[in-house]
Amino acid sequence: MRSIALITGVTGQDGSYLSEFLLSKGYEVHGIIRRSSVDYRERIAHLEGQPHFHLHYADMGDSMSLVKLVGKVQPTEIYNLAAQSHVQVSFDAPEFTADVDAVGVLRILEAVRTNHLEKTCKIYQASTSELYGKVEEVPQNEKTPFHPYSPYAVAKLYGFWIIKEYREAYDMFCCSGILFNHESERRGETFVTRKITLAAARIAQGKQDCLYLGNLDSLRDWGYAKDYVECMWLILQQDKPDDFVIATGVQHTVREFATLAFHYAGIELRWEGEGINEKGINVATGKVVVAVSEDFYRPTDVVNLWGDPTKARTQLGWNPQTTTFEQLVQIMVQHDMQKVAADHVASVMRTNLAEYLEKGVVK
Ligand code: NAP
Ligand code: F7E
């Protein structure tokens, strides 16, 4: 009998890597997708059509769709990854964020109970280092007090506690992975790392002049998403349900990430000025290629995240340094250098084709 996994957020960065991982372990994988007017399935396109990979329409805001789907799929493991996951966007859409990221977790738990699967279905909740928010100690571990500092984090705090509540009240196998930032070549393009690696590639290839960022001093513990999905699975394979911090244990600023990304793109940066006036200058040309814009400042910003992965290392047997910070930045920049070059070729071909069509050369 194959284990049956249901993944919410299957189209996202983590959902796509987790699907690949679980398929390689012999799982039957079911994913939740929602209707959109544009194609958003790029990250899982290569999995569609595989015999053990199935997609279903549902929505985290639609209880009935979740109840029906859980009943139909009868999962043995649910990975609840769906979320409005952008912290800055959560200030603009706080109610939607709460509905999906907080009440959505409750809807999943109730869908399992409604289908009487409490004793057979394990649940993983995608919790976050943002819970530590305005941090009360560094580095942060499973015992560090929470101090959420954005509508996103407040919604995720509800998710964390309702998972714990159902574990204790109904003896359900519910766990939270408190994951620190994890990135990849599949990371959404408005998160700071991907924004930087794409811009560095574009600037190196003459497609963009300057990259505008917000708080350059912000500190993050960045890991590789591909390594982190293994932990989600390991957490559900333990004898008892529990919560784990997943992090590398190494911290860097946004400025350091940018310096290294531009280096891998072939541009050495020199930093001048402070705060809003700080600039990243291309040493070879003297041109400003990074500048600060207040548009990317947040009403409250989390500035000092640094995880202590001791429990995951000792209890799960997971290696937090599988991919180093330097390797992560290099993987992302290499990918984006190729993407920008390929986009350029495709756009030249489109322009040429349009010209030929106009001139009647191609009919
Ligand atoms: P992501 O790339 O933004 O993916 C989010 C996923 O949630 C997408 O598949 C999205 O679907 C789906 N979704 C959003 N609203 C939905 C709704 N109403 N109904 C159904 N699906 C919905 O996020 P990620 O980086 O993979 O992160 C996965 C999870 O881990 C999230 O819960 C995030 O909050 C959490 N987390 C992430 C990090 C990190 O550093 N990446 C760290 C800690 C925790 P569409 O494609 O249709 O938009
Ligand atoms: O910001 C600063 C920004 O948006 C990181 C999500 O996956 O990880 C992610 O949330 C830092 C912040 O990620 C820009 O102010 C500077 O301090 O890449 P980010 P995040 O907010 O840490 C956590 C763990 C999650 O759970 C979330 O789902 O970088 N920053 N300049 C900027 N950030 C962005 N986005 N854009 C900038 O231009």
What integer is the mean pLDDT of 68-85?
98
Q: Which residues are catalytic?
A: 128, 130, 152
Q: What percent of the chain has pLDDT over 70?
A: 99
| Nearest ligand, CA 80 | 1
Q: How many CB atoms lie within 10 A of CB 183?
A: 24
Query: What is the end-to-end Cα distance of the chain in Å, rounded?
Result: 55
Ligand 2 and 215: CB distance under 6 A = yes
pLDDT one-digit tens code per residue, 35-63: 999 988 999 999 999 999 999 999 999 99
Question: What is the atom index within ligand 2 of the atom nearest the CA of 126?
Answer: 26
Ligand 1 centre to CA of 283 (Å) is 38
pLDDT tens sequence across 197-235: 999 999 999 999 999 999 999 999 999 999 999 999 999
Cβ of 130 below 6 Å from ligand 1: no
For the chain, what's the residue count?
363
Q: Is 304 in the pocket of ligand 2 (CB under 6 A)?
A: no
Q: Which residues pair with 272 in a beta bridge?
A: 279
How many CB atoms are located within 10 Å of the residue 64 CB?
A: 11
- The CA-atom distances, in angstroms, between 288 and each of 64, 279, 284, 292 are 53, 6, 11, 11
Cis previous bond, 148, omega within 30: no
pLDDT digits (tens, 9 = 90+) for 154-206: 999 999 999 999 999 999 999 999 999 999 999 999 999 999 999 999 999 99
pLDDT tier for residue 363 given thresholds of 50, 70 and 90:
low
Average pLDDT taken over every residue of the chain? 96
Span from the CA of 187 to the centroid of ligand 2 (angstroms):
12
Q: What is the pLDDT of residue 354?
A: 76
Residue labelled with tokens 């372990």: 25
Measuring CA to CA, how many Å separate 316 from each of 81, 214, 226?
20, 36, 16
pLDDT score recorded for residue 16: 98
